[in-house]
Amino acid sequence: MINLPFGSITDVPGITVGHHQRVGHGWQTGTTAIIVKSGATPGVDVRGGGPGTRETDAIHPQNLIQEIHGICLTGGSAYGLAAAHGVMEWLEGRGLGFPIGQMNGSPQVVPVVPAAVIFDLGRGGSPTNRPDSTFGRKAAAHARRSQQRWGSVGAGTGARAGGLQGGVGTASTTVRLPESDIEITVGALAVANPNGSVIDPTTGLPWEPSGARLRRPPADERRALIAALTGQAALNLNTTIGVVATSARLDKAETSKMASVAHDGLARAVRPAHSMTDGDTIFGLAVGDTELLSSGRHVALNVILKAASETFAAACTHAILAASTIGAAVAYSDVCPSIYRSSR
């Protein structure tokens, strides 16, 4: 396998990621938690026709909540929203959340944990095996900046991208703001479980290679790829969900705009996107370490928005490249192993 030039959402200071999953004995599902102990300004944009979400209204720009400490991305369809309660409990245990005053002499908080789900019911054999609060609590407890595993882990365990095994992918980039020495980090995490495909069936390569040096697979591998993309494994409900984060200090409207433009990256990497059977949802996080200059702020924001789109597209691609075969859906790297040979 090659070292892919994607980076990670954890390159944004303060962002940590944890996964928990179960595989086997009727299970193939999991949960991913994005934790920001120092807090972050939230945003969100929902584009899919069949979303499963929690707390999206609370973080809209016109509403009360200005800071959150965690996001839950999970399998289990609407049932999987229960995993967010586990992330909530974990944050409460550390005093992280919206302060509501004192009780018995101790400060009390209500953690606001936005969440989104993918459809993966029954992909391990039993549709009643799905994430609950223990998944969220364990994923949050595993959150680290250093990440060794991506692909078919956490919320990506039961994911499928068209007919291929899906997964969790990530990417990051650093941009310099115009006429300034200010550098901003933008990172993304995507759980790729789309109804559409991340791979162009004609070339056998990702629609958005995002800097990965891949070799076009030979004809026999492309035929196997087309069979996988059009097989029974592709005929299910789906959804791509994720997070885009930045080290810039943005307000809620700007952070939501960043999430909105990240959907452009999703639509470039996944074709088609935003269908009636996708619940495509992207959350935004601004950790607020770097202040933008008030002069020409819209120009600086455009640079960040472009990076958000590009990193989310790269995260979708990375999810498929990093995936491994678990159940009925085969991983792209197993169908087209030749893509890596010229890059060793």
pLDDT per residue, tens digit, the chain (344 aa), is 334 578 999 999 999 999 999 999 999 999 999 999 999 999 999 998 899 999 999 999 999 999 999 999 999 999 999 999 999 999 999 999 999 998 887 889 999 999 999 999 999 999 999 999 999 999 999 999 988 789 999 999 999 998 999 999 999 999 998 878 889 999 999 999 998 999 999 999 999 998 888 999 999 999 999 999 887 655 567 899 999 999 999 999 999 999 999 999 999 999 999 988 889 999 999 998 888 877 789 999 999 999 999 999 999 999 999 999 998 899 999 999 999 854 43
Give the span between the Cα atoms of 150 and 303, in whole angstroms.
Answer: 27
- The β-bridge relationship of strands 106-110 and 98-103 is antiparallel
Q: How many residues does the chain have?
A: 344
Task: Give 74's contacts (C-beta < 8 A, 6+ positions apart).
Answer: 30, 31, 32, 80, 81, 83, 84, 115, 116, 117, 118, 131, 135, 136, 155
Task: Give 294's contacts (C-beta < 8 A, 6+ positions apart).
Answer: none
The pTM of this model reads 0.95
Give the span between the Cα atoms of 136 and 126, in whole angstroms.
Answer: 20
Per-residue pLDDT, 149: 86
Per-residue pLDDT, 154: 98
Per-residue pLDDT, 251: 96
Per-residue pLDDT, 234: 56
List the end-to-end C-alpha distance of the chain, in Å, as a whole number.
8
Per-residue pLDDT, 249: 96
Per-residue pLDDT, 106: 83
